[in-house]
Amino acid sequence: MKCPDSIRALDRDDPLAHTIDQFELPAQTQYLDGNSLGPLPRASRQRLAEVTEQQWGQDLITSWNKHDWINLPRKVGDRIAKLIGAAPGQVVCCDSTSVNLFKVLSTALQVQAPHGRHRIISQQDNFPTDLYMVEGLNSLLGNNRCELVSVHADQLISSLDDSVAVLMLTQVNFRTGHCHDIRTLTEAAHQAGALVIWDLAHSAGAMPLSLDEWQVDFAVGCGYKYLNGGPGAPAFVYAATRHHGVSSQPLTGWMGHAKPFEFSPSYTAAPSIDQYLCGTPSVLAMSALDAALDVFDGVSLDVLRAKSLALSDLFINTLRAADCWQEFTLLTPMEHTRRGSQVALAHPQGYAITQALIADQCVIDFRAPDVIRFGFTPLYLRYEDVWLAAQKLIRIVDTQTYLQPEYSRAKAGPVT
């Protein structure tokens, strides 16, 4: 397929063209799954070699001080803070998104308990693990102290009353790519006396955020999607300074202690963001994430967001001009303010189409029951990649290639 000159011109004029070569990607492959797992940054490969061969291999335990391993959670946290609009000292990198969500949910419920508030409002189609974590807290605390209320997106604000302790939402819906207005929903929650927790898994590193300006209370997010930290990379937790030391989170591991190396037999929480640490950090994983963040140095998030929207516009408009467009249902909003950095299409044969695209070296993913997801990550995607992905999808649907039996066999893992 010959790419039109107009598409190649967009790549020649791309202000983010210099970041593309900072990633390792297989040749002749369109990778539109960075919203699930970012690719390997070259800097991370180099850093891991350095950490394993010199720091761990030669300097051994002295590296905790010599190479500042001990401060990696704060160092990486402050780098992520720049990407989410937070001042230093409010973000720490540690654990998983789910574990960090448990911590901030527990903190928020403790803060709200004296006010008789115990309900957690969330969206019915929120990412399941977020809802599961509330269910787990409910099993520990009971309905009188923790009750999950899941409502439709249109009912979020109207559901806020004086029993609500927390509004817990994911900014960008993992299935549809719909993007919430953080400022508006946070203000509504605060006016009702509720605290807010935002899951930024599908937005950190993909769009500008201003958590401090928007007066967000808590946020969590992962390091392996748009931050490109590697499979299972450490997550992050944001807690506004005003909440530090007000209430402690229950996973009181030694790294969250005010003086961890005094080895006191009793726990005293650190008065800073460090109170959200728990156990010893994974130095290899955190070093890989730290290096991955280098690619954001000097990158304007406004420019990154503009390219993300331009890529997804190109994809949607190319498909809309094709005869097969009528077979799909576009789940992602066309309005830029309501769209994340992905496009979701529903199709009765969504799974088989996904597998056929992957076999044709266009890597995307599928979410039950019928959603095909395309992620648009501006740091390494070319406009030509997006045009080629659209052409492959059109051809597969037009020729009904997806009806071949091998594309309907279920596979294990997130790509299915």
Instruction: List, by residue number, the catalytic residues.
Output: 127, 199, 224-225, 373
Q: Are 81 and 88 in contact (CB under 8 A)?
A: yes
Count other Cβ atoms within 10 Å, centred on residue 124.
11
C-alpha span between 356 and 344 (Å, rounded): 17
Tokens 């006010």 correspond to what residue? 115
C-alpha span between 192 and 187 (Å, rounded): 9
Residues 6 or more apart from 130 whose CB is under 8 A from it?
A: 98, 101, 122, 168, 170, 199
C-alpha span between 87 and 94 (Å, rounded): 18
Q: Are 411 and 359 in contact (CB under 8 A)?
A: no
> 378 by DSSP, 3-state: which?
coil
C-alpha span between 343 and 398 (Å, rounded): 20
C-alpha span between 274 and 272 (Å, rounded): 5
Query: What H or E segment, with its residue span, contains residue 75?
Result: helix 72-84
Query: What H or E segment, with its residue span, contains residue 169?
Result: strand 164-170
C-alpha span between 260 and 195 (Å, rounded): 30
Cα–Cα nearest to 390, from 353, 351, 348, 338: 353
**Whole-angstrom distance between the N-terminal and C-terminal Cα of the chain?**
27
Count other Cβ atoms within 10 Å, centred on residue 337.
8
In this structure, is the dihedral angle defined by the CA atoms of residues 253, 256, 259 and 260, taken in order, positive or negative? positive
C-alpha span between 358 and 29 (Å, rounded): 9
**How many residues does the structure list for the chain?**
416
